[in-house]
A and B are shown apart, each in its own frame.
Chain A
């Protein structure tokens, strides 16, 4: 792992979110809420379209964090606020762009302040992680 210095920017990573991925996540996580799979249902409850599971988006960010940390076992604390739904129309790969800035670094840990956007709109707020060095 590269040396993490307070204030340094971690290169961004782009994840593609599509309907097939949401079905796969629903099956793997057990969250079968139809707003994440069924367009008709999603619209019937007032949503613009199918939306991604907040936990799917957070899970992708978790992958980014684990990669920075050097593995899932080094992620100690990870939190996010689901501020905007990630809308996933049929047949579209929605780009989720994730980046981070290094916060406080101690001998044992580093804090990351994370940004996650779709179409340049922040979809997560207050996204932070503490990783073990």
Chain B
């Protein structure tokens, strides 16, 4: 179970990711979208989910039990090829329901000091 003291804590990303045209192209192709230098609206998940996973696994949760419950993206500035992104994740809430643990993580993708995209993932860790 997640230590309740971690709710509200922000975990700054330790590395920056440069978004490549190749990564956008592969993602767009997988979704059958035209390849442009603007990433598809859900592309942020390729950065945010890895960060959420590392934060929650380091906090003792079993990633093999996870199911994605909800997802939201708030896009202030669309991600583009060449953007250098750091990702800070905040555990916004954690609750138990029927033995499952339901955790919402907000990941802020930061470009040049501004939040380009906020990604909220609600993850259900099955009992």
Q: Give A104-130 as 1s and 0s: 1 = Cβ < 8 Å from B's Cβ atoms.
A: 000000000000000000000010000
By beta carbon, the residue of chain A nearest B121 is A55
Contact in complex: B73, A72 (CB < 8 Å): no
Give the interface SS of chain A, mostly helix, strand, loop or mixed.
helix
Question: In the complex, what's the smallest C-beta–C-beta distance from A131 to chain B, in angstroms?
Answer: 10
Give chain A's interface residues, CB within 8 Å of chain B: 15, 21, 24-25, 27-31, 53-56, 58-60, 62-63, 65-66, 71-73, 75-82, 126
Give chain B's interface residues, CB within 8 Å of chain A: 23, 26-27, 29-33, 36, 38-42, 45-46, 49-50, 67-75, 78, 120
Contact in complex: B36, A71 (CB < 8 Å): yes
Instruction: Report the Cα distance A79→B41, complex, angstroms.
Output: 10
Contact in complex: B68, A76 (CB < 8 Å): no
Instruction: Report the Cα distance A29→B69, complex, angstroms.
Output: 18
Contact in complex: B40, A59 (CB < 8 Å): yes
User: Which of B32, B36, B50 lies at the interface centre, i.e. has the most chain A CB atoms within 10 A of its CB?
Assistant: B32
Contact in complex: A58, B75 (CB < 8 Å): no
Could you say which residues of chain B place their CB within 8 Å of the CB of A82? Answer: 67-71
Give the interface SS of chain B, mostly helix, strand, loop or mixed.
mixed
With A21-B30, A63-B33 already in contact, the answer to whether A29 and B45 are too (CB < 8 A) is yes
Contact in complex: A73, B78 (CB < 8 Å): yes
Question: In the complex, what's the smallest C-beta–C-beta distance from A74 to chain B, in angstroms?
Answer: 9
User: Which of A27, A53, A72 lies at the interface centre, i.e. has the most chain B CB atoms within 10 A of its CB?
Assistant: A72
With A62-B41, A71-B38, A73-B38 already in contact, the answer to whether A79 and B31 are too (CB < 8 A) is no
A-B contact count (CB 8 A): 94
Known: A59-B42, A62-B40, A72-B38. 9 other contacts (CB 8 A): A24-B30, A29-B46, A60-B32, A62-B31, A75-B41, A77-B74, A77-B75, A78-B73, A79-B120
Instruction: Report the Cα distance A55→B40, complex, angstroms.
Output: 12
Instruction: Report the Cα distance A76→B68, complex, angstroms.
Output: 22
By beta carbon, the residue of chain A nearest B32 is A63
By beta carbon, the residue of chain A nearest B50 is A30
Could you say which residues of chain B place their CB within 8 Å of the CB of A25? Answer: 30-31
